[in-house]
Amino acid sequence: MPDAGASRFRRMRDLPSSHMLGAGTAMCAGCGGLAALTEAYDVLGENTVFVNAAGCMSLMSVYPFTPFRGSWLYTAMASAPAGAQGVRDALDVLRARGRITVQEDLQVVVLTGDGAAGGMGLSATSGAIDRGLDFIYFCYDNEGYGNTGQQTSALTPHAAATATDAGNSGFPGWKKDLFALWAANKPAYAATIIGGEPLDLVRKIEKARSFSGPRMILALSPCPTGWGYDPKLSIEIAHLAVKTGIWPLKEYIDGRVSHTRMPHPRLPVEEYLKPQGRFAHLFEPRRNEAALREIQAGVDAYWAPWEAQREA
């Protein structure tokens, strides 16, 4: 876990007893993305302006309703970081002219799904990093274009069946490593989170807030509708994602990547895959041993250097 010394969240019972994000949003029951955002918003607070790339969370603020306590600005899929630049610039102008105080300044947060983040939004994101934009890039990653029926996105994992890769083998490609893309370009902070691990999550949001410059939060977002499982399993699936090593909880600070959780021993990946309809073809009508081995080997290869380091 991230260093608890400086955190106001020392243990589970320090988690908030109610949430700041309003109820009544149009997200699906059991939405893992909404879970992550709800937990994060308690730490981000009302002095936050969201710049929303089109996606599932377009439906967060459907006129005339909003669950937020502060502002929300809607952009096209590809241009949320550009929108964030404009908002940040405007706030800076207001600051320079003395029209708002430091206390009234707002944290600019891009809210984006993985479709926009890993595909058409990459160019605007790259530009924002180049310009050292002071913003948090919050990506809820449900591994597909969930709002339109779970078509394959750049962050869809290998072998997952989607609306566009429906055959017997699922998506033939591999999940794009958005965290590594960011980390390679020396952001102020980058972290992976998951709603099912709220303590790890709030500490990372707290830490992200303490930096300025480009910061990235990548939340794996179990999606009952797109992944094909009962909504009540969202948290269990989140836990399995972490315990199998499929979803490493990590952060990047000062040129170094470190893990906030080292699953040990790691559970076999199939424990995570089995409850999800999108992977059912790996088990029925017969087990696809080759594909299961391939997925396990990918996870093993990821962890090998980190586990060797820990053994040493």
Residues that bind other proteins (CB under 8 A): 12-19, 21-32, 34-35, 38-39, 46, 59, 61-70, 166, 195, 198, 224-225, 230-236
- For residues 223 and 27, give the distance between their C-alpha atoms in angstroms, rounded to a whole number: 10
- Nearest distance from C-beta of residue 270 to other proteins, angstroms: 21
Phi/psi of residue 28, nearest 5 degrees: -60, 155
Contact 141, 114 (CB under 8 A): yes
Shorter beta-carbon distance to other proteins: residue 106 or 188: 106
- For residues 152 and 160, give the distance between their C-alpha atoms in angstroms, rounded to a whole number: 9
Shorter beta-carbon distance to other proteins: residue 65 or 283: 65
- Nearest distance from C-beta of residue 132 to other proteins, angstroms: 30
- For residues 300 and 294, give the distance between their C-alpha atoms in angstroms, rounded to a whole number: 10
| Torsion sign, CA atoms 20, 111, 50, 228 | negative
Q: Measuring CA to CA, how many Å separate 136 from each of 20, 132, 211, 218, 223?
A: 19, 11, 10, 10, 23
Shorter beta-carbon distance to other proteins: residue 15 or 304: 15
- Nearest distance from C-beta of residue 177 to other proteins, angstroms: 26
Paired strand residues for 52: 74, 111
Shorter beta-carbon distance to other proteins: residue 6 or 166: 166
- Nearest distance from C-beta of residue 22 to other proteins, angstroms: 4
Shorter beta-carbon distance to other proteins: residue 89 or 230: 230
Q: Measuring CA to CA, how many Å separate 104 from each of 97, 98, 107, 214?
A: 13, 11, 10, 20
State the residue for tokens 């250097």: 305
DSSP 97: T
- Nearest distance from C-beta of residue 165 to other proteins, angstroms: 12
End-to-end CA distance of the chain: 20
Shorter beta-carbon distance to other proteins: residue 118 or 222: 222
Residues 6+ away with beta carbon under 8 Å from 183: 190, 252, 257
Shorter beta-carbon distance to other proteins: residue 108 or 190: 108
- Nearest distance from C-beta of residue 268 to other proteins, angstroms: 22
- Nearest distance from C-beta of residue 176 to other proteins, angstroms: 25
